[in-house]
């Protein structure tokens, strides 16, 4: 496996240990606040939704009635199997498929909303991922994001840069120091709502404690 988290498989990634650890760690993190963040992420979302890097499907039960259907793309087979199980027991219709951020298996401008939650830290190139998300959104469509990001405080930001020399090897390609908000803005989106907060569900989670959630729109023209 290289630092981006790829292991040489064509068109997918394989991280069985990370998938297992995530499934063990997630319930506690959800209880400590992540479930509430997912409610905030998906509040008022409507229409046809694409979720990229859906993981084990932790967002699925947070979609409301106004969503007509969710296409959930997840490249990692163990995560995808968990997402398929999670999709069975939710009120909204969810279809889980394989696929990568860099080549989403869908046509241009067909979704009302795209959801990126805790995944832009792991993609090999944020600009490529965001360009794909922009492509598949209808004009005026929403990118809903919930991500851990680069710290605004200088000391923590330099700790994050140091941590990123080894963290991606153990975190399936996850980077702690990415300026994801800037990447979203530089990809042509207009950020219309933003909430910055700290969330640290475990001792080791300090480098990934600065979070953002919000909405960014695909412009109506251009
Ligand atoms: C930390 S998990 C988050 C999962 C889920 N979105 C959540 O909120 O719990 C990161 C997810 O991003 C996925 N991912 C990593 N690289 C990806 C890529 N290049 N394209 C799409 N998804 C990717 C991983 O397989 C994993 O499921």
Residue that is written with structure tokens 């790829």 in the block: 6
Tell me what the mean pLDDT of segment 25-37 comes to.
97
Tell me what the mean pLDDT of segment 10-27 comes to.
90
Q: What tokens were used for 144?
A: 């809903």
Kindly give, in sequence order, each residue whose CB lies less than 8 Å from that of residue 207, ignoring residues fewer than 6 positions away: 156, 159, 160, 163, 167, 176
Tell me what the mean pLDDT of segment 159-182 comes to.
97
Q: What's the pLDDT tens digit per position in 184-203?
A: 999 999 999 999 999 999 99
Q: Do the Cβ atoms of 20 and 187 come closer than 8 Å?
A: no
Cα of 32 to ligand 1 centre, how many Å?
21
Kindly give, in sequence order, each residue whose CB lies less than 8 Å from that of residue 28, ignoring residues fewer than 6 positions away: 201, 202
* Nearest CA residue ID for atom 8, ligand 1: 117
* Nearest CA residue ID for atom 13, ligand 1: 53
Q: What's the pLDDT tens digit per position in 44-73?
A: 999 999 999 999 999 999 999 999 999 999
For ligand 1, whether the C-beta of 104 sits within 6 Å is: no
Confidence band of 2 (pLDDT split at 50, 70, 90):
very low
Q: What's the pLDDT tens digit per position in 116-139?
A: 999 999 999 999 999 999 999 999
Q: What's the pLDDT tens digit per position in 69-115?
A: 999 999 999 999 999 999 998 999 999 999 999 999 999 999 999 99
Cα of 168 to ligand 1 centre, how many Å?
13
Q: How far is C-alpha 56 from the chain's CA centre?
A: 12
Confidence band of 4 (pLDDT split at 50, 70, 90):
very low
For the chain, the structural domain boundaries read 16-217
For ligand 1, whether the C-beta of 142 sits within 6 Å is: no
* Nearest CA residue ID for atom 14, ligand 1: 53
Structural fold of domain 16-217: Rossmann fold (3.40.50)
């Amino acid at each position: 496996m290289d630092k981006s988290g790829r292991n040489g498989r064509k068109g997918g990634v394989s991280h069985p240990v990370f998938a297992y650890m995530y499934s063990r760690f997630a319930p506690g993190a959800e209880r400590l606040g992540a479930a509430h963040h997912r409610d905030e992420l998906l509040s008022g979302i409507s229409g046809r939704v694409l979720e990229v890097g859906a993981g084990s499907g932790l967002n699925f039960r947070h979609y409301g009635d106004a969503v007509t259907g969710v296409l959930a793309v997840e490249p990692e087979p163990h995560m995808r199997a968990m997402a398929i199980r999670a999709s069975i027991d939710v009120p909204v219709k969810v279809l889980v498929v394989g696929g990568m951020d860099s080549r989403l298996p869908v046509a241009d401008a067909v979704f009302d909303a795209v959801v990126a939650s805790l995944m832009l830290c792991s993609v090999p190139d944020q600009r490529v991922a965001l360009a794909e998300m922009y492509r598949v959104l209808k004009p005026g469509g929403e990118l809903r994001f919930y991500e851990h990001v680069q710290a605004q405080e200088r000391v923590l930001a330099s700790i994050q840069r140091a941590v990123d020399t080894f963290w991606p090897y153990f975190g399936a390609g996850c980077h702690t120091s990415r300026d994801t908000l800037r990447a979203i803005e530089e990809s042509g989106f207009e950020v219309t709502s933003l909430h910055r907060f700290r969330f640290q569900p475990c001792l080791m989670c300090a480098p990934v404690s600065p979070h953002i959630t919000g909405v960014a729109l695909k412009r109506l023209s251009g």
